[in-house]
């Protein structure tokens, strides 16, 4: 450690510094508290060893100042007149320890600093480990998204993570259900325990049963030895049952029993085993409909659906497209400005039936196609990307704005959109009407309603008259 020794008896300061240097520390010494502060300002020290009684600032004042300005610094006091009272005050002010200036006190100092050094090392090691784990889990579970519906889902996930409650993640394919499940596990008390994922749709019934619950030796042909199942693997951790809608009815019964009674038996066994497992499940299926059609047991459904979290589809949160694109580009060593403005716009208009996964793959492919060039519309390759920018306003909307939690006024929104259209069309009403999929006449009447035009105000010269969208002709009087 780098140690600064402070005493106005310079001889003691020097001898102490020498002895601590022999003990393996890097030492300096100064005469008095004022000099100590100047030296501390100029250079960093891990520890300060100071005499108590000095001309002001004395040892206690120096201690207080060091703790205020460099709180991580270890401070040890030396005192010729040990009084329990000053010792107590020193410890309260944050001193690491103190020694009586008598006998072999320098050896004792060496031992104290050695212990402090080991503790500091441990603390920094722990901090480093904590950082590694933190960034590891963060990496596994970075959930990008700021749309209100996403924020709500994240808030729910955050709240339920700390509990042992079963959670059902719902949402279309590719929305991030896996990611949410991981995030819940890795921010729960079970984060240090196992994370086990089973895809209920990937195995035929008999294999799935033995996969989940294990089997005893001889349970079936080929069961040459006993094998624990995934429930046992997940003990003290989390078991993520993906595609829970695919779970066969017989296994639904067995699952319900584990959730309710925490017990199950291995295939071919009759001894009930107890496990401590938290269950998370996910599905993109309409479980309510499956319950109605008797493909999914209602008791299991109610048990799983105690805490549902729905991850919203990407097309309902177009504002998340840009940050997500940036995230995926950075993950491949590119930056967000690798996307041209046109490409970004096309992405924001795309309906993304495959959700975030589709966006991720589209960008990966585009990066390869674009090489060192910027990613432009033609690299995106999904149908409609290039015509998206010019698609007629009468087409089905690629996105709908999301209603914020506090609600919105359709009137205000309509007025805003009309103003935007007028602005974009530089006041050209026919063009603005086209942008909104309206006839000029309808635009006029809506403008009147919103106080953007006086009733009966004369029509402009017939610029663009007659090229209102086809099919809207019946609106013309």
Ligand X SMILES: Nc1ncnc2c1ncn2[C@@H]1O[C@H](COP(=O)(O)OP(=O)(O)OP(=O)(O)O)[C@@H](O)[C@H]1O
- Output 166 or 284, the one with its CB closest to ligand X: 284
Which of 9, 58, 108, 178 contacts ligand X by CB under 6 A?
178
Question: Pick from Mg ion, ligand X, none: which does 441 bind, CB < 5 to 8 A by kind?
Answer: none
Q: Which is nearer to Mg ion, 352 or 444 (CB)?
A: 352
- Please choose, out of 207-215, 271-279, 352-360, 393-401, the segment that lies near ligand X by the rule CB under 6 A: 352-360
Residues 246 to 285 in contact with ligand X, rule: CB under 6 A: 284
73, 188, 318, 416, 433 from 400: Cα distances, Å: 57, 35, 8, 15, 19
Q: How far is the CB of 201 from ligand X (least distance, A)?
A: 10
Report the nearest approach of ligand X to the CB of residue 180 (Å). 7
CA dist., res. 187 & res. 110, Å (int): 42
> At closest approach, how far in Å is the CB of 156 from ligand X?
14
Cβ–Cβ under 8 Å, residues 74 and 46 = yes
CB closer to ligand X, 59 vs 176: 176
> In 3D, which of 289, 260, 265 has the Cα closest to residue 277?
260
Q: Does 171 bind ligand X (CB under 6 A)?
A: yes
- φ, ψ of residue 70 in degrees (nearest 5): -130, 70
Cβ proximity of 3 and 27 under 8 Å: yes
Rounded to whole angstroms, the Cα distance separating 233 from 230 reads 5
Shortest spacing between CB 437 and Mg ion, in angstroms: 37
Residue 175 lies near ligand X (rule: CB under 6 A): yes
x/- binding map, residues 179-198, to ligand X, per CB under 6 A?
x-------------------
Q: Which residue from 173, 257, 295, 431 is in contact with ligand X, where contact means CB under 6 A? A: 173
Instruction: Please name every residue paired with 26 in a beta bridge, in sequence order, or none if there are none.
Output: 2
Identified binder of ligand X from the candidate list 143, 191, 223, 472, rule CB under 6 A: 143
Nearer to ligand X, 229 or 312 (CB): 312
SS3 state of residue 273: strand
Binding ligand X (rule: CB under 6 A), the pick from 360, 364, 402, 460 is 360
- Mutual angle of helices 33-42 and 59-69, in 10-degree steps: 20
Candidates 25, 101, 170, 177: give the one binding ligand X (CB under 6 A).
177
User: Which range binds ligand X by CB under 6 A, 10-18, 49-57, 170-178, 223-231?
Assistant: 170-178
User: Minimum CB separation from ligand X for residue 177, in Å?
Assistant: 3
What count of other Cβ atoms lies within 10 Å of the Cβ of residue 446?
A: 18
Would you call 172 helix, strand, or coil by DSSP?
coil
Could you give the CA distance from residue 94 to residue 61 in angstroms, rounded to a whole number?
12
**Residue 318 to residue 324: CA distance in whole angstroms:** 10
Q: Phi and psi for 199 in degrees, rounded to 5?
A: -90, 110
Q: Verify binding: residue 326, ligand X, rule CB under 6 A.
A: no
Binding site for Mg ion (CB under 5 A): 177-178
Contact region for ligand X (CB under 6 A) — 48-56, 69-77, 228-236, 354-362? 354-362
What gap in Å lies between CA 360 and CA 350, rounded to an integer? Answer: 13
Tokens of 130: 């904590």
Instruction: Specify the DSSP element, H or E, that contains 282.
Output: strand 278-283
- Please state, in angstroms and rounded to a whole number, the distance separating the CA atoms of residues 23 and 14: 14
Q: Does 356 bind ligand X (CB under 6 A)?
A: yes
Contact flag: residue 313 with ligand X (CB under 6 A): no
Closest CB 175 distance from Mg ion, rounded Å? 9
The DSSP 8-state label assigned to residue 339 in this structure reads B
- Cβ at position 178, least distance to Mg ion in Å: 4
Q: How far apart are the C-alpha atoms of 398 and 392, rounded to whole Å?
A: 11
Q: Which of 32, 110, 145, 318 binds ligand X (CB under 6 A)?
A: 145
Q: Which of 357, 365, 441, 453 contacts ligand X by CB under 6 A?
A: 357
- Beta bridge partners, 198, equal 241
Q: Which residues of this protein are in contact with ligand X, per CB under 6 A?
A: 142-145, 171, 173-179, 284, 324, 327, 356-357, 360
């Amino acid at each position: 450690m780098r140690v600064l020794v402070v005493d106005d008896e310079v001889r003691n300061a020097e001898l102490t510094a020498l002895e601590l240097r022999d003990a393996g520390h890097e030492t300096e010494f100064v005469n008095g508290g004022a000099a100590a502060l100047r030296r501390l300002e100029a250079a960093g020290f891990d520890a300060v060893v100071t005499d108590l009684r000095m001309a002001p600032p004395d040892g206690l004042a120096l201690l207080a100042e060091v703790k205020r300005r460099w709180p991580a610094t270890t401070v040890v006091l030396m005192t010729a007149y040990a009084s329990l009272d000053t010792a107590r005050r020193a410890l309260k002010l944050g001193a690491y320890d103190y020694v009586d200036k008598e006998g072999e006190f320098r050896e004792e100092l060496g031992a104290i600093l050695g212990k402090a050094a080991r503790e500091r090392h441990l603390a920094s090691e722990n901090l480093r480990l904590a950082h590694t784990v933190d960034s590891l889990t963060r990496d596994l579970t970075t959930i990008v998204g700021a749309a209100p519906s996403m924020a709500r889902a994240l808030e729910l996930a955050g709240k339920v993570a700390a509990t042992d409650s079963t959670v059902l993640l719902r949402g279309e394919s590719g929305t991030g259900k896996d990611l949410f499940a991981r995030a819940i596990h890795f921010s729960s008390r079970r984060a240090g325990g196992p994370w086990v994922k089973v895809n209920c749709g990937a195995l035929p019934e008999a294999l799935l049963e033995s996969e989940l619950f294990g089997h005893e030796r001889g349970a079936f042909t080929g069961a040459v030895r006993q094998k624990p199942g995934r429930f046992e693997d997940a003990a003290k951790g989390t078991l993520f049952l993906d595609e829970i809608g695919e779970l066969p009815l017989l296994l639904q019964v067995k699952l319900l029993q584990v959730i309710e009674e925490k017990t199950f038996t291995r295939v071919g066994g009759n001894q009930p085993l107890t496990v401590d497992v938290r269950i998370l499940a996910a599905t993109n299926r309409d479980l309510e409909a499956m319950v109605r059609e008797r493909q999914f047991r209602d008791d299991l459904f109610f048990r799983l659906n105690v805490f549902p979290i729905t991850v919203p589809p990407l097309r309902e949160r177009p504002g998340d497209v840009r940050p997500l694109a940036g995230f995926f580009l950075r993950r491949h060593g590119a930056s967000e400005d690798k996307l041209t403005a046109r490409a970004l716009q096309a992405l924001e208009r795309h309906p993304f039936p495959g959700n975030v996964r589709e966006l991720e793959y589209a960008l990966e492919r585009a990066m390869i196609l674009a090489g060192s060039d910027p990613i432009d519309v033609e690299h995106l390759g999904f149908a409609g990307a290039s015509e998206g920018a010019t698609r007629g306003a009468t087409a089905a909307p690629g996105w709908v704005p999301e209603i914020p939690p506090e609600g919105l006024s359709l009137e205000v929104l309509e007025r805003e959109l009309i103003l935007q259209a007028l602005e974009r069309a530089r006041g050209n009403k026919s063009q603005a009407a086209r942008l909104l999929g309206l006839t000029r006449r309808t635009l006029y009447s809506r403008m009147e309603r919103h106080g953007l035009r006086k009733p009966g105000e004369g029509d402009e010269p017939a610029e663009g008259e007659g090229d209102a969208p086809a099919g809207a002709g019946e609106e013309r009087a």
